[in-house]
Amino acid sequence: MTDATNAPARSDPRTRRNVAVLVGAQAILGSQMPMLFVVGGLVGNTLTPNPCLATLPISMIVFGSMTTAPWISPLMQRQGRRNGFIIGALAGALGAAVAGYGLYIGSFLMLLLGSYISGIYMSAQGFYRFAAADGASEQFRPKAISYVMAGGLMSAIIGPQLNKVMFDFSVIPFLGSYVAIVVLNLVGLFLFFLLDLPNAAALAAAKTNDAVRSKLELLKTPRVAVAIICGMVSYALMNLVMTSTPLAVMGCGFEADSANDIVSAHMLAMFVPSFFTGHLINRFGVEKIVATGLVILGLAGAVALTGVTLANFFIALILLGLGWNFGFIGATTMLASSHTVSERGVVQGLNDSIVFGCVTLASLASGGLMNCSGGSAVEGWNAVNIAMIPFLTLAGGALIWLALRPKSAR
């Protein structure tokens, strides 16, 4: 398989500068994601006429991301990453404004529209990790991806704590959170002018030198297929459980602040390991790190099924975050080394469309399982965690299948 960096590697110092900027973007703009995922379910539960649809606003965010990836990835291929990232930030501001207006007038449909627009930001944010890998040497690539993901550490602190402050900012509960998200996007977008990324003309020139395989041919490539499956399962299961967490916590008699603290701990677990995940990948191999992530995700579900105390919620969500980190960063690294420069836009757009398509289904299923699969919050929470089993089996089986194939056939 031709590696994305078979062409002479560009300077890693340049990559380090871009990584620093992208870490800042993850910290500032990325803070909106934990805010939206907590507020979306709670506001949805308030406005929807059907409790089974309480998490639909979160599903619309992910659906927006899924439908954005097929056009924003080629746009970045043609016009550069910066333009795509700025579009994402502007969409984040507009989406929060529309959703906030929906809350103000009590319109569930307007809330859903705003959530969908916010999904454009979510899609653009997903390409930060690929931008970090652009031009990086093969050895530095997993570290670059990990460091950018580590920027989420600050967003994991800023977002939930800002939510706490802004919950009561307005006489309308949760409206202040949407106002804060608008400001985060408008301020944070200026970071992208500091990026020094490969220009679109250079990428277009590189594209003429290599053949680009069709989407079907790419999906038939074992390493590409397994990377997509493992990324899909890691992200979808994390979303499945996290989306239901605020509803489960409050349904079991705890306060909204406890839900924020649990989500904050979860997001810290998602991003703190990023400081060393890249080193672990270089030392042990990407397949072993992905496999470890899947095992930890299974442990998260097991802990959640043993009880509904605050300790259970905290431990389960911390394990969930750690498992996502190993599984998703590992899958991203595997994918980044499985295609040529010319195939970058096609592969990355295809990957994120599939991943976030499954995440959309997971978030939809989350609300239904949580609110409509039993007579109590405990039964709903158990159903959410039991639903992890078949998907973990799928990803684990895919990894084993890849490992058993000859290296030349991967």
Same domain, 100 and 132: yes
Alpha carbon 50 to chain centroid, angstroms? 27
CA distance 124 to 128: 7
Same domain, 183 and 222: no
Q: Considering only CA atoms, which of 180, 113, 150, 130 is closest in space to residue 271? A: 150
Contact 369, 301 (CB under 8 A): no
Range of the domain at 150: 14-201
Q: What does the block give as tokens for 111?
A: 């809330």
Same domain, 225 and 184: no
Same domain, 194 and 293: no
Note the pLDDT of residue 9: 42
Note the pLDDT of residue 213: 79
Contact 276, 331 (CB under 8 A): no
82-87's contacts with Cβ under 8 Å and 24+ in sequence apart are 82/192, 82/193, 82/195, 82/197, 84/124, 84/127, 85/25, 85/124, 85/127, 85/128, 85/131, 85/189, 85/192, 85/195, 86/189, 86/192, 87/120, 87/124
- Whether residue 2 is contained in a domain is answered as no
Domain boundary among 168, 201, 234: 201
The tally of domains found in the chain comes to 2
pLDDT averages per 10-residue partition of the chain, 410 residues: 41 78 91 88 85 83 87 85 94 97 94 96 88 75 79 82 82 90 95 79 52 80 92 93 88 83 86 85 92 97 94 96 94 83 78 85 83 82 94 95 78
Q: What does the block give as tokens for 73?
A: 């990835």
Q: Considering only CA atoms, which of 61, 62, 70, 72 is closest in space to residue 113? A: 61
Note the pLDDT of residue 7: 39
Note the pLDDT of residue 147: 82
- Whether residue 3 is contained in a domain is answered as no
- Whether residue 6 is contained in a domain is answered as no
User: What does pTM read for this prediction?
Assistant: 0.74
Same domain, 236 and 132: no
Domain boundary among 151, 180, 201: 201
Note the pLDDT of residue 4: 40
Contact 169, 42 (CB under 8 A): no
- Whether residue 367 is contained in a domain is answered as yes
Same domain, 403 and 339: yes
CA distance 89 to 120: 8
Contact 237, 362 (CB under 8 A): yes
Note the pLDDT of residue 306: 95
Same domain, 291 and 265: yes
- Whether residue 64 is contained in a domain is answered as yes
Domain boundary among 150, 167, 201: 201
Same domain, 246 and 382: yes
CATH number at residue 191: 1.20.1250.20
Same domain, 163 and 28: yes
